[in-house]
Every structure is written in C-alpha cells, then in structure tokens.
Structure 1
Amino acid sequence: MLVPRGALVIEGAYVATLDPARREFVGHVVVSGNKIVAVGPGSSGLSEGAQVIDGSGCLVTPGFVNTHQHLYQWVTRGLAVDATLFEWLRTLYPVWSRITEESVYVAAKGALAQLALTGCTTAADHHYVFPRGGGDLLAAEITAAAEVGLRFHPTRGSMDRGQKDGGLPPDSVVEDRDEILAATSAAIDRWHDPSPGSMLQLAVAPCSPFSVSGELMRESAVLARRKGVRLHTHLAETTDETAWCLETHGCTPLEYAASLGWTGSDVWFAHGIHFDDAEIKQLGATGTGVAHCPSSNARLGAGIARTADLRAAGAPVGLGVDGAASNEAGSLVEEVRNALLLARARNGPQSLTVRDTLEMATLGGAQLLGRLDEIGSLEPGKLADLAVWNLNTLQHAGIPDPIAALVLSTPPPLDLLLVNGRPVVEHNTLVTLNHQSLAREVAKTQATLL
C-alpha cells in the first residue's frame, strides 16, 4: 500500500467500521490528510514515515453525529429543573431574549467543546432566537465551531408567532415573516458550502408549530428546496403540542406539517415522540427523519420516542443532545446509552441492541444530515472523522464486547478524536481550546445574562 509520509496509523485497536457488512475486528485504520485510506484486520505493516498510534485495548468508532442541539443554551443551564416543556419555555424565553453575539459565541464554544469530549465530530444546531440588537448570532456560533474544530451544520431557525399572536415566545424575539425569509436566504448564500468534505452546511429550521405560522412553515420549505438545503423543526414532542394542534388546526402535528410540505428525505424532526402507528408508517414511506433526544425528553417528562418502530418502518433516526437548558450534560456518548435504556424500558430488552444505538449515533445521524457518502462509517475514501475510546480502565476492563463496554458502561476516556483528519481531542483533553479558561468564560457569561 502506498501511503504518503505523515499518514496516521492506528494499530491493534478493536475497529467497529459500521460499513455495509458491519465488519468488526482487531486491526488498523490509516488516515492520510482528511481521508481514511485503509481499514482492515491485523497490522497495516506501515511504520516508516507514518505516525503510529498503539490502539491496544481501545475501540475505534466513526465520529458521532449530533443531529439536534441549541448551543446558545449552554449559558442558561440549571433553570426550571422541575418544569414541563411549556412551563420551562415560559421561564427561559425572557432570559433568552437577552442573548447577544458574545454570549452565543461563549455558549457555543462550551457546548461544542463538550460534544467533542464525548465523541462528536459533526454537530447540527437549531438556533431560532434572534433578539433585536443581539448582533450576528449565526456568525458567532459558526466562528465558535471553527475554533473548536467540529464539522458544523447550523440551521437558521425562526419564530413569527409571539405572545400577541397566541404563541409562547416574547414578542421581542419574534421576527417578521419576510424578514425571516430574507435573512435565511442571505445566510445560506453566505455560509452554506455544498462541496465534498464541507465543514459547514446550513439548513432551514422554523422553530415549532406553536411558535411559527403556517405561512412561514410553507414558505420556508419552498425556500429550502429552491436553495438545495435541508429542513428541520421540532415536532410531536409533547401531548400538549398534540392537543394544541388538534384544537387549533384540527389535525395532529404530523398531519399539519405534511400539509405544509414538511415530509420527505430532506426533512428531519426533533423529538418525534408522539406519533401513532399510521404516522410512523408515513415517516418510513417518505424517508422523513427523526432526531431522538432521550435525555432531554426524560428531563422534561415529554415521553419516550418509538425509535425501534421508526427504524423498523424505514424512517432514519439519529441522536441529539438537545439544548443544554434541558440536558445539562450535553454529552453525546451518554445519549447512546440513554437511547438504549429508554427504548428497553418502553418495549423490552429486544427492542434495540447496543449496535443499533451505535448505528443511530453514526450512520443514522449522517443520513439525517445528508452526509452518508462522507461520514458515519470507517471506510476507505470517507472523511477522517473518528473516535478512539480507551477501554483499558477499571470501568471497562473485563467486558468482552467492546461495543457493550462503550454503550452500557460509564463513558470511557477519549484517547483521540479526529475531525477531517485533525486532532480535536487527545488523551481526553481538548487540544483546540483551553478548557479551564473556557469554563471561566461560561460562568462569567451566565452570571451576566441572569
């Protein structure tokens, strides 16, 4: 094998490829530049001119893909801790109405750093709060993502139904529909990079049926498809939402969304808890995806999504940590474990396997974001986004199945996280930013905001 000098070789690790054959073996992964160039059992036989990492006792997985997050919430954690969703929103919206470009920048760095430390290489964010005079909030989080070093899929969110229109958000954080559509179109033109290996891609994301008008939902779908980007929103998160849709629109949230053009392989919904059998079948038939956020759903008492049924129907399912104000941990590896445990609590031990949940964190997320041909598995030609988990610990030693050790035990140390072939985490430490100074920035920003 001809490998350029300076290639990185991981040797002797247990490799979970997530390739079409779902191969697993003790072997090697070879990275050159931003691409994986070789994956296989046994030794690569390479040493001269290469950086060789001893992966003995480690597990190599594809980098995790976070499909739903609200980065700005990292500086509003620990509030309304015993509230329902609507109570929680009424408490938090007045605080969020004061966010600025600086606070969003600090919050995004904190949330993205935590995602990196928990195995995430690609992160989608849903930003929908744009207070008047707050500055360029989308640019703030894009800058933060570049500094942390993650592949980033921000979505330009929006709300046009404030309290005066019967919505939940304060009127100070809602925007005019034409203003939203113009700003969204401009953001796509400015930031979206559809080229191979892109580190930055945008999507269009009105917030939710109860904070967005039907006209904005419909026109947003038209805009996204004209621009060739994807669509994202919250849907079917709580029984309150279902009751509101039935009372206001005479239909369920999914029926409402579908009537506005919001189904298809370019659409993914956050949460998707309260779908009935027919709706799950419809999601599978249309290829509409769901970002499953188990920790946030449990924290707010919203319910348990039917992930096994969704997957069986053919609907793509990925994982999301959701906003840090409803999931203070912000840990993607913990979502893998919680997705498994909650599915089994609902439907028994055969409902999901440990490998099913690993697949949701990798391939499932890649599918939701339209990046299956580039990320989500360890295969030659794919982007070098991968995690090396150290299982040489008291908590993991003696568990014979490395996948079970990762999913069922406590989160293992992260020896290495590569994004686009570049180290972001080494020896369980973020190498792109100073962790201690970032923590001080976060605490100061939260104190000021509150």
Structure 2
Amino acid sequence: MDLLNDRGLPATGIRADTRPQLHTAPWLVPVSREPIRDGAVLVTDGRISAVGTATELLGDLRRNGTEFGEHAWEGVLMPGHVNAHSHLQYTCMADVGQGVYAGFEDWSRAFQVVYEEPHDWGASAADGLAIALAAGTTAISDIVTDTEAFEVLKHGQMHGIAYWELMSWLTDEWMSRGRSETIARLGTAPHDFLGLSPHAPYSLDTEVIRDLSTLSEELGVRRHMHLAESAWEAEYTLSGTGQLADQWRNWGYSEFAVLRAGGTQRRPVAYAESIGALGPDCHIAHGIYADAEDRAILRRTHTAVALCPRSNAVIGLDEAPVAAYLREGNRIAVGTDSLSSTPSLDLMGDVAALYALARAQGYAETDLHARLLHAATLGGAVAMGMETGDHRIGSLDVGALADFAVLDTLAPTAHDVVAALVEAGDGHNLATIISGDIRWQRTI
C-alpha cells in the first residue's frame, strides 16, 4: 500500500491501533550495538520500549498478558535514514541535476537560470519529502530559501530541522531590517524544529555571519552552513580574488568586508572559525576542500560535516577527503543535497558512494561499513543535536523515537548484513516507519 495522499504528502491521522506494536525481522541493526539475528523492537506510544530477539520480546509480552499488534518484516530493520543536508524545494529542478558541469560556478549559473523561473516551491518541497520518505528517510536537515517551502516538514510530519537560509545581506541592511525580519520569520513558524542557515562564507557580509551565531544562541536554534564546497572559496577568503569574488562583485556586493579588505589571509574553514560560525550547535555541508588544518579546526570546534558525494560528482567537484575524515576522527554525516544536483534522494546511494571513495583513498580498516552506516543514521542525529533527549533519533534504542526503515538486503552474518546495507546503494527500501506509524510501504 502507498500511504501518500493526492498532494504527494505522507498520509496523516490518528494511529488506528493504539496497542504496543511488535516489529520483527530476520536482522535488526540498531547501529548503537551489534546486529541482532531474528530481532525485534517493541513500539509503545511512538517510542521504542524494548529491543531484543523476537523470541525474548514475544515471551515477555505473553507472560505479561500484554495485548499487542505484530508486524513481521522480511528484510533488515534499521534506524531510519537521517539526511543531514538537503534542499527539498528544488525537487522540481531535477533537469539541472541531469547535466554535466565543470565545477561549482558552472553548475551555479545553470541552477540560477532555472531557479529564477516561476515555481510552486511548496508543492516541489512536498514532492521531495514524499520521495525521501519512500526511500527510508525519517529525518531531514532541510535548507529552505523560499517561504512557501518552510512548512514542508511540519505538514509531512517528518523529523528534522528546517533551516531558514540567509544570503546576500550587507551589514547595514542586516542590522536595519534583516535581523528583525528573520526573528519574525522564525517566531511565526509552526514547526517545532527550526534553524538558521548562513548560506556560505562568500555570500554574506562578515558581521552578518558573526551576528547569526549570536542570534542563533538568543533564539536557541541550530545552524547549518555550506563550507569548503567550491574550489574558489579559498581565493575568496584569502585574498578577495578569483571567480567567486568576481561573481559577487558583479552582483553588486563589492562592499562585503572580505572583498573590500582584499581577503582575510585565512582559508574558508579558518575564516569561519574566526567569526564564530562553527561549533557543536552547527554542522557544515560538503567540506570538500578541507586540508589537515581545516579538519583539525572542525574537530576542535566539534563541528560535524555532512558529506554529499553524488552531488559533488554531478557538479564536477573534487572528492571530499573521506578517508582522512575517518582516520582523524571527524564527526561525519551524510546528505543527498537536492535533485538539482544528485540522481536521487535515497541516502543509501550516497553511503555506497562514500564506501567506494574511502576504499579508493586508501582506508582499509574493517570498521568502514559500520562507521558509514553510523554516519547515515546516528551521525546525522548528532549533526542536528537529536541524538539525545525527547527527540532522540538515529538508533534503535529504548526511549528513542520509533523511526526505522526496512531494507530488502539480507546476508548470513552480522558483519555481512552491515556490509550489504552499505554497499547496496539506493532502491532497497521496503517500508518507512516514523514515530511508530507505517508511513510508506512498497506495493507488491
């Protein structure tokens, strides 16, 4: 059955069966612990109330005389995918994502032409959410540029954070009206989980980026920033030169402090740190052009990075230093980016791409499969600050929200199951459950 309504949004409503629900599968992969053969999770009031083998949990329920519903899945039951970087509103721009580009600036020009055409951003974002849900995604870090798309997570009852994107603000204009407008925008938003997204180090004035860190603290919201995505960012922040700097001057932003001063003599990550843009309440997207010093800064500031390998490949960017991030212990998560730069919104396609990159870059450790599966689930939760507390997601543990996916990948041993999940790529989701509700199920 397909639980999507005629607008492409997940079907909503009151749960028909309020009894505890037992979900069993040949393999249960909690991520926070070793896989469980013939495993089960018990869901009570939208949260996981027990985890173990099916035999154990069934025995406990029957001994206690508990009335319960049962769902026997044929596949691997794992935490729902946590997409740590996406722009759902650009789903209608999938044609851009089918192109071949020579780099970020080349793709950006093609993107801008289509972006400026009329679009129903709300409907496009809803379509993207439906696609992600069908792929096994249960939480999204969604960057929103246009107001019409701001409520998509709320209407779709999807966990995650809607980050209001800010760009093209000069300091004087920001202080006179931009700040108050942003506070009003977030203050009236109906979704519980909100954030701020200073777009990138080159698209906002220095003091605006600095003030957004202050504002996020005042409002108690998180931040998410594109960083080290373009090869031209370093020239921009070091010396105020290069194609990116020329582009923003041509757009009328020569008064940005970095451009006026002829750069900061700092690379993008160091520049971001110097103005307070990094920290444990923030995660960045891409992190491609990050050297050893940059990666050390990200570790020191406890800033996670959402890696988007398939989007990078479409745009024509270099490979992110995946093996180095893993060896050095950086916090990593996984993102798809939008359909304007990626072939699908199935996060497992990016997980498989990261596996191939890590091996090609020389990462030979046996923990690779487990670490990448962690990145796609609990790693994304950490990036959004949702690994603890009432809104805990990313693992199948008692007390966490009952968010999980069922994949059609089976293997004989626990290690083989995790390896199969990581290497399989996209297109393997059988069902998606959010807060205990079956929100999507593959039609047979």
TM-score normalized by the length of structure 2: 0.82
Aligned structure 1 segments of 4 or more residues deviating by more than 4 angstroms: 175-178, 396-400
Match of 1:385 among 403, 419, 443: 403
Q: Distance in 2 between matches of 1:386 and 1:300?
A: 31
Please give the alpha-carbon distance, in whole angstroms, between the structure 2 residues aligned to 1:408 and 1:54: 25
Q: CA deviation at 1:177?
A: 5.9
**What's 1:185 paired with?**
183
Q: Tell me how far apart the structure 2 counterparts of residues 347 and 428 of structure 1 sit (CA, whole Å).
A: 40
Question: Gaps spanning 5+ residues in structure 2: where?
Answer: 1-16, 241-262
Query: Partner residue of 1:158?
Result: 166
Distance 1:71 1:312 in 2: 32
Cα deviation for residue 313 of structure 1 reads: 3.5
| Cα distance, 1:339–1:428 mapped onto 2, change above 3 Å | farther
Find the aligned partners of 1:154 and 1:177 in 2 and give their Cα distance.
Answer: 23
> Are positions 1:105 and 2:118 aligned together?
no
What corresponds to 1:446 in structure 2? Answer: none
Residues 292 and 147 of structure 1, relative CA distance in 2, 3 Å threshold: same
Deviation of the 1:404 alpha carbon? 2.0
Amino acid at match of 2:67: G
- Residue 263 of structure 1 corresponds to which residue in structure 2? 278
1:94: Cα distance to partner? 3.3
TM-score with structure 1 setting the length: 0.81
CA drift at 1:181: 2.0
Identity %, equivalent residues: 27
> Which structure 2 residues correspond to residues 203-242 of structure 1 after superposition, within 5 A?
203-242=195-234
Pick one of 42, 45, 54 that aligns with 2:72: 54
Q: Residue 162 of structure 2 contacts residue 195 of structure 2 at CA under 8 Å; is this kept in 1?
A: yes
Q: What are the within-5 Å matches in structure 2 for residues 37-436 of structure 1? A: 37-43=49-55, 44-45=57-58, 46=61, 49-55=67-73, 57-79=74-96, 81-83=99-101, 84-99=103-118, 103-128=120-145, 130=146, 136-137=147-148, 140-142=149-151, 144-160=152-168, 178-191=176-189, 200-248=192-240, 249=263, 250-350=265-365, 353-373=368-388, 374-391=392-409, 401-411=416-426, 413-427=428-442
CA shift in 2, pair 1:297/1:259, >3 Å: same
Counterpart AA for 1:91: A
SS in 1 for 2:336: coil
Question: Do the aligned partners of 1:122 and 1:152 also contact (CA within 8 Å) in 2?
Answer: yes
Deviations 1:150-208 (A, max 9, x none): 1131101111169xx9xxxxxxxxx8564432232123322376xxxxxx311111111
- Cα distance in 2 for partners of 1:389, 1:125 equals 24
Distance in 2 (alpha carbons) for counterparts of 1:412 and 1:98: 31
Q: Tell me the CA shift for residue 304 of structure 1.
A: 1.8
* Aligned partner of residue 10 in structure 1, secondary structure: strand
Change (3 A) 1:207 1:58: same
Q: Which residue is equivalent to 1:8?
A: 21
Quote the offset at 1:210 in angstroms: 2.0
* Shift of residue 98, structure 1, vs aligned partner: 3.9
CA distance in 2, matches of 1:238, 1:75: 24
Letter in 2 for 1:300: I
Equivalent position SS for 1:290: strand
In 1, Cα distance between the equivalents of 2:326 and 2:180?
36
Structure 1: runs of 5 or more not aligned: 131-135, 166-174, 194-199, 430-450
- Size of the aligned set, in residue pairs, is 393
* Cα pair distance change 1:190/1:315, threshold 3 Å: farther
CA contact (8 A) 1:65 1:365 kept: yes
Per-residue CA distance 1:344-377 (angstroms, 9 max, x = gap): 2223443861111110001100000000011111
8 Å contact from structure 2 (residues 18, 45) kept in 1: no
> 2:10 — aligned with what?
none
What corresponds to 1:133 in structure 2? none
Matched with 2:256 is none
Write the distance in 2 (CA, Å) between the matches of 1:177 and 1:191. 21
